[in-house]
Structure 1
Amino acid sequence: MSIERFLDNSPSSWMAGNGEHSDIVMSTRIRLARNLNGFRFPLAFTEDEAHKIDQSVSATLLDANEELHANFTSIQIKDLSELSRQVLVEKHLISPKLANSPETGSVLLSDDESVSVMVNEEDHIRIQCLFSGLQIQEAYDQADKIDRLLEKELPYAFDEQFGYLTSCPTNTGTGLRASVMMHLPALTMTKQMNRIVTIISRLGMVVRGIYGEGSEALGNVYQVSNQTTLGKTEEDILADLHSIAEQIIQKEREARNSLLNHSANTLEDRLYRSLGTLSFARIISTEEAAKCLSDVRLGIDMGLIQDVDVTILNECMVFMQPGFLQKNAETTLNASERDMFRAKLLRERLQMGEKLNTKGEELA
Structure 2
Amino acid sequence: MFHDLFTTPSKSRKLPKSIPVTLSTRIRLARNLREFPFPGRAETSQKRAVLTKCMDALSVVKGLSDSFSVEVDDLSELDRQILVEKHLISPELSQVEEGSGIVLSEDRNCCIMINEEDHLRIQVLRPGLDFGSVWKLADALDTGIESAISYAYDGELGFLTACPTNLGTGMRASVMMHLPGLVMSKNMDKVINAVNQLGIAVRGLFGEGSDANGSIFQISNQQTLGESETAIIERLDSTLKNIVRQENFAREKLLQDDGVRLMDKMSRAVGNLKTCYLMQSSEAMDCLSLVRLASDFGMLPEKYRNLADRMFIEVQPGHVQLSAGKPVEAGFRDSLRAELLRKEFLRAPQIDPSPAAG
TM-score for both structures, normalised by structure 2: 0.92
Amino acid at match of 1:262: D
Give the C-alpha shift of residue 61 in structure 1. Answer: 2.1
Match of 1:273 in 2: 268
Match of 1:359 in 2: none
Amino acid at match of 1:261: Q
Q: Distance in 1 between matches of 2:28 and 2:204?
A: 17
Higher mean C-alpha deviation, range 273-282 or range 45-54: 45-54
**RMSD of aligned C-alpha atoms?**
2.2
Classify 1:231/1:7 alpha carbon distance in 2 versus 1 (closer, same or farther; 3 Å).
same
SS at match of 2:41: coil
41, 45, 53: which one pairs with 2:50?
Answer: 53
Question: Are 1:298 and 2:324 counterparts?
Answer: no
Question: Are 1:8 and 2:7 counterparts?
Answer: yes
Match of 2:213 in 1: 218
Q: Deviations over 1:297-353 (max 9, x none)?
A: 00011101237432221111111111111222233333321211111111223348x
- Structure 2, unpaired ranges of 5+: 350-358
Match of 1:232 in 2: 227
Matches within 5 A, 1:168-207: 168-207=163-202
Aligned residues: 349
Q: Distance in 1 between matches of 2:225 and 2:45?
A: 31
277, 280, 283: which one pairs with 1:285?
Answer: 280
SS at match of 1:26: strand
TM-score for both structures, normalised by structure 1: 0.90
Question: Are 1:84 and 2:83 counterparts?
Answer: no
Q: Distance in 1 between matches of 2:259 and 2:88?
A: 38
Classify 1:340/1:314 alpha carbon distance in 2 versus 1 (closer, same or farther; 3 Å).
same
Matches within 5 A, 1:1-364: 3-8=2-7, 10=9, 16=15, 18=17, 22-64=19-61, 67-68=62-63, 71-306=66-301, 308-351=303-346
Classify 1:237/1:212 alpha carbon distance in 2 versus 1 (closer, same or farther; 3 Å).
same
**Contact 2:113–2:120 (8 Å) recurs in 1:** yes
Q: Distance in 2 between matches of 1:15 and 1:268?
A: 32
**Contact 2:11–2:107 (8 Å) recurs in 1:** yes
**Contact 1:33–1:175 (8 Å) recurs in 2:** yes
SS at match of 1:214: coil
Classify 1:307/1:97 alpha carbon distance in 2 versus 1 (closer, same or farther; 3 Å).
closer
Give the C-alpha shift of residue 8 in structure 1. Answer: 3.0
**Contact 1:17–1:311 (8 Å) recurs in 2:** no
**Contact 2:177–2:218 (8 Å) recurs in 1:** yes
SS at match of 1:178: strand
- Structure 1, unpaired ranges of 5+: 356-364
Classify 1:190/1:70 alpha carbon distance in 2 versus 1 (closer, same or farther; 3 Å).
farther
SS at match of 2:40: coil
Q: Distance in 1 between matches of 2:203 and 2:57?
A: 33
Q: Distance in 1 between matches of 2:185 and 2:120?
A: 41
Higher mean C-alpha deviation, range 27-36 or range 102-111: 102-111
**Contact 2:68–2:103 (8 Å) recurs in 1:** yes
**Contact 1:210–1:218 (8 Å) recurs in 2:** yes
Amino acid at match of 2:255: L
Q: Distance in 2 between matches of 1:348 and 1:6?
A: 23
Q: Deviations over 1:136-186 (max 9, x none)?
A: 122111111000111111100001111111111111111000110000011
SS at match of 2:151: coil
Q: Deviations over 1:23-73 (max 9, x none)?
A: 110001100000001101101212222222222222222223xx3376311
Q: Distance in 1 between matches of 2:209 and 2:277?
A: 30
Classify 1:107/1:15 alpha carbon distance in 2 versus 1 (closer, same or farther; 3 Å).
farther
